[in-house]
Amino acid sequence: MTAKRSHKAAKPRPVIEARPFEWPDDGRINPDATALIVIDLQLAFLSPGGYLARKGYDPAPLRAILPTVNRVIAAARAAGCLIVHTRQGYRADLADMARLDRRTGPAVDAEDLGGLVRGSPDFEIVPEIEVRDTDIIIDKTANGAFTYTELEPVLRVQGITHLLLAGCTTDVCVHCTLREANDRRFQCLLIEDACASGDAYAHAAAVHMVTVEGGIFGAVAKADAVVTGLSRVRAKPHSA
């Protein structure tokens, strides 16, 4: 009589279900090489009197993603990923504000920018998002977080090769950062329900653009899939 072999259930691979391919495409999440970039969740963009609201956009869709972003942050922390927050803002004299931003219409002053001046209350990250001492904060003046900042050196020193992206706005600062990261050979995953725009059509288009040509800029996933994938890995937290 032949004894039956016992078969253990295969352990789920630590990858994230995404489109157009599972992420990362090398088949396994390495939290020591992965960072979550949380882009520009500042009062200036999310408050009723802030910059976006003054431009005529409803900040409600941006505020709606905060619980989802917090879930992703918690999962990334537990897995041992590096957490990076960005803030966009300018000097009080606007000397570092690009001419493109000032070329049309009347002269722009700090009051017109609705909090996009460093040191103003609305420049700060919304209180709903927990920022810890071990997190990295990158301040920027351009839409892309790599332009004229220390973001790339920080990521290289920390050994980061893979990026999860969340925040606002999907079509501008998030997308610019993703494209800059892709050109620098970081592997990128856009978390589509952890980012938002004041323009729903622009958000949908920006998400779609990531997936064209088989994922030319990376992959796209839902927050639930990211949390599930990260729950299967554990690593020591990064030190700032």
Please give the positions annotated as active site: 40, 140, 173
DSSP string spanning 68-128? Answer: HHHHHHHHHHHHT-EEEEEEE-B-TT-TTS-HHHHSSSSPP-GGGGTT-BTTSGGGSBPTT
Q: How far apart are CA 230 and CA 214, in angstroms?
A: 24
| Cα(186)–Cα(54) distance, integer angstroms | 35
Question: What is the rounded radius of gyration, in angstroms, for the C-alpha atoms of the chain?
Answer: 19
Tell me whether strands 219-221 and 82-88 are parallel, antiparallel or unpaired: unpaired
Phi, psi of 66 (to 5 degrees): -60, -45
Q: How many CB atoms lie within 10 A of CB 187?
A: 17
Structure tokens at 14: 């630590």
Residues in the chain: 240
* Dist. CA 149–CA 153, nearest whole Å: 9
